[in-house]
């Protein structure tokens, strides 16, 4: 109770929702300028970047780097300048006497400015069996769970960059992978060349739709699929399944609020990263128009931080 009362009475310069690359980059800028900065994170610092096995397109790292390493470096840099990270979930935002009240699972806090940088999460297939066998054969993070399938056969769903990249990573463990693509491969040419070089371990199935994930009472068995060109149905058996079919913004907590969202649930903002609620800014993968790239999320966070600084200077107390 004491902690909750302290939170309710304290006014932060800026509260950042999320602790992925966008928020951590913004926090580096704000904290470095002695702007009191606290980040609220409900899961893992670093967001999806921290669960990515290898990042090959982040500027300045010619040989690439592990996602968890990048996340750790961003966190260390933000904390070195004084940013604080609190593990709690933000459940809503409301205007409050020229500032913003931030509702969290640890109680309400007040902020002069807020940055929404909640990123995105893995899109699901929404087919029967997906929830039933989640973490019991169905997974969304190769880095987290791939090692459980050493010497096993796997199914990977997804024909974009993430699907192909994660399938390539999983060849470290699996004896064979069936890569299921709903239409045609959309991954970059570089990744498609790498995929072709692994044809002995990865079989690509195009024009395939997953109808159901099946198993016994105790374990995952495989996926029932339809070949859309022929209408044929097949049960593909495997020991596990990894799904990489895109991302959804983590903005459900904003629905019904004064924060304007687009049809996909992404947060609308102007050129200065300002949302429809005064004092609230947005950066990263949850912003409408975002490119869903780590490098651009970092730049977006820096831009938002500069806009936040201007806002605080205009509204000095």
Mean pLDDT of residues grouped by 10 in the chain (317 residues)?
A: 50 97 98 97 93 87 93 98 98 93 96 97 94 92 90 97 95 98 95 97 97 93 96 97 94 95 96 97 97 94 98 89
- CATH placement of domain 138-243: 3.50.50.60
Q: Give me the pLDDT at residue 2, please.
A: 41
pLDDT tens digits along 240-285: 999 999 889 999 999 999 999 999 999 999 999 999 999 999 999 9
Homologous superfamily assigned to 2-121+247-314: FAD/NAD(P)-binding domain (3.50.50.60)
Q: Give me the pLDDT at residue 5, please.
A: 46
Are the C-beta atoms of 286 and 120 separated by less than 8 Å? yes
pLDDT tens digits along 176-222: 999 999 999 999 999 999 999 999 999 999 999 999 999 998 799 99
Q: Give me the pLDDT at residue 218, please.
A: 79
Q: Give me the pLDDT at residue 287, please.
A: 98
Domain segments of the chain: what residues?
2-121+247-314, 138-243
Quote the CA–CA distance of 22 and 303 in Å, as a whole number.
10
Q: Locate tokens 């640890």: which residue?
A: 106
- Please tell me the pTM assigned to this model: 0.80
Are the C-beta atoms of 35 and 13 separated by less than 8 Å? yes
Are the C-beta atoms of 42 and 68 separated by less than 8 Å? no
Go through 36-75 and write b for each residue having 16 or more CB atoms within 10 A of its CB, e for each that does not.
bbbbbbbbbbbbbbbbbbebeebeeeeeeebbbebbeebb
């Amino acid at each position: 109770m004491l902690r909750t009362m302290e939170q309710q009475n304290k006014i932060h310069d800026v509260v950042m929702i999320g602790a992925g690359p966008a928020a951590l980059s913004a926090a580096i800028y704000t904290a470095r300028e002695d702007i009191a900065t606290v980040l609220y994170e409900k899961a893992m610092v670093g967001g999806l970047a921290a669960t990515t096995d290898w990042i090959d397109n982040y500027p300045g790292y010619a040989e690439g780097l592990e996602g968890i390493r990048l996340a750790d470096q961003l966190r260390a840099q933000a904390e070195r300048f004084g940013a604080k990270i609190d593990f709690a979930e933000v459940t809503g935002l409301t205007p409050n006497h020229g500032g913003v009240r931030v509702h969290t699972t640890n109680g309400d806090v007040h902020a002069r400015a807020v940055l929404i940088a909640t990123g995105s999460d893995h899109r699901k297939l929404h087919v029967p069996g997906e929830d039933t066998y989640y973490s019991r054969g169905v997974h969304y993070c190769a880095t987290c769970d791939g090692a459980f399938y050493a010497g096993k056969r796997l199914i990977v769903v997804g024909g974009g960059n993430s699907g192909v990249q994660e399938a390539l990573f999983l060849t470290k463990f699996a004896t064979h992978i069936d890569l299921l693509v709903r239409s045609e491969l959309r991954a970059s040419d570089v990744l498609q060349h790498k995929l072709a070089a692994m044809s002995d371990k990865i079989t690509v199935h195009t024009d395939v739709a997953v109808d159901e994930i099946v198993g016994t009472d105790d374990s995952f068995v495989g996926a029932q699929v339809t070949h859309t060109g022929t209408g044929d149905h097949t049960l593909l058996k495997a020991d596990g399944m990894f799904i990489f079919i895109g991302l959804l913004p983590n903005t459900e907590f904003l629905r019904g609020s004064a924060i304007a969202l687009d049809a996909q649930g992404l947060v609308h903002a102007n050129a200065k990263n300002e949302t429809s609620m005064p004092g609230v800014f947005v950066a990263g993968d949850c912003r409408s128009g975002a490119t869903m790239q780590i490098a651009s999320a970092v730049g977006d966070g820096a831009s938002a931080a500069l806009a936040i600084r201007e806002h605080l200077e205009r509204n000095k107390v």
